[in-house]
Structure 1
Amino acid sequence: MDATLQVEHITLIGTGLIGASVGLALRATGFTGTITGIDASGTELETAERIGAITATARNPEAHAAAIAGSQIVVLAVPVLAILDWMGRIQPHLSADAMVTDTGSTKAQIAARGVSLFPKQFLPGHPMAGKESGGAALAEANLFQNAPWIFTPLHEPTPLETTWRDLVEKFGAKPIDIDPVRHDELCAWVSHLPQMVSTAMTAVLEDQIGDDEALRAIGGRALREMTRLGASPFSMWRDVAMTNQKPIADTLLALEQRLQHMRENLRTPELREEFLKANRFRARS
């Protein structure tokens, strides 16, 4: 028998891009149980329900408690600080047989809180997928296709956690297990630094170019690619910065030092060495 048949009710706390995409991906796997959505935005809930990502909504504290108590799996798909808050709010209502997972972009603080609140019931997770903009209207069932879905397990897997992992694989994602502290260190390099660089570069261009159409007109593919992440919302990245401050600061310092080195060597062979290092890295990608 398919292990997923034991799950009849999943609650998604957060029905934006990631939460609604999880709901659509669940439906695409053939999941026929109840998917309840909880979101501070009534508009997001309505959109998620309209596109088929959820089958029910919970719109007040009493309905939230009932949905959580009746769920085998609760997925926290909100920004990191909201995840930390919701963990405390759901704990009194969670069934002893249920599990909690999340989709937060940082893991160390979430994992530490999970250990104290949900012994043997929490599997921290992070799907490395998304778009520059959020919202249920942009959700896709195949958003996680071929994307890493990182788990930072805190104990030996329970049968329900194994079921969730199986579902994630059916989404088309590639599960990877990493220590939560190591996760944050790695993501500072591969995800958080690129975002900060794009944001800084885009902000500088806004200051220097602004609405100068002539200068904007000559910006080609390189400019579009380098500034694409500049459209990302502060609301999400604020939480990432606040919960992964030191690793991000370390990567920014390393980049600052490298940029200074390049600026000081624009007319020396050292600049060639920087290009060669960059070429070697890209060749392995």
Structure 2
Amino acid sequence: MSVTPLMDRAGAAIRVQGLEKSFGQVSVLRGVDIDVARGSIFALLGSNGAGKTTLVKILSTLLKADAGRAEVNGFDVGRQAAGVRESISLTGQFAAVDEILTGRENLVMVARLRHLKNAGTIADDLLRRFSLTEAGARRVAAYSGGMRRRLDIAMSLAGNPPVIFLDEPTTGLDPEGRLEVWRAVRELASGGTTVLLTTQHLDEAEHLADRIAILHEGRILVNGTLDELRKLLPQATVEYVEKRPTLEDVFLALVTGEKR
């Protein structure tokens, strides 16, 4: 049975329409709609329990939605799960690396599990791409948090998936580690990879994202560029100094109803 795409594959890499999900009596997603352009970084911003991880699990075929429709890379999430899985990579909140192995061995292992040819060449290319060549021969147990996270993301890219989901990728990292991951994410997008990033860190979305959606209690409150979101609050001036609303100002005003 053929499936009519939600939109042409040259358009959005991810498209979600009316997505709903409940667990028992608790409604987690309440009609979510988003589009993510190809080769862009899309940040899904929200507090704990807002529904960010649930949405990512549905888009990566780990959960089934109760209602609505979603496509990833032109494949229907509900009816073409195999096509979705071949198109994506998912990196969870904590680095899924083997600390006993070296960085290179981790990458070779993943490439072989995905039945890719020239696993060693792929591993070496990813080490270079994520500035881990010098550390490639060291056991991952000796890596810093930022290095482990970069390796985790590198492992996700074996096979060059066009879409990658990063679920709170800087959880538990120190400021230096966060900056390392930010640099890696920017490089992904510059190489044409579509990135859907979930985060609780307002500055992370502000620095990385082409577009930002604020998810609150299962609903998308706003969805736009940083400049578009800033315009939702009035600009304030104090004598000769103009204060532009930060993303934090926008988030708190929308979620709590308070203007700072």
**Coarse TM-score class (shorter-chain normalised):** under 0.3
Q: Pick the structure with greater CA Rg.
A: 1
If the length of structure 1 is used for normalisation, what is the TM-score?
A: 0.23
More helix by share: 1
User: Which structure is higher in RCO with an 8 Å CA cutoff and minimum separation 6?
Assistant: 2
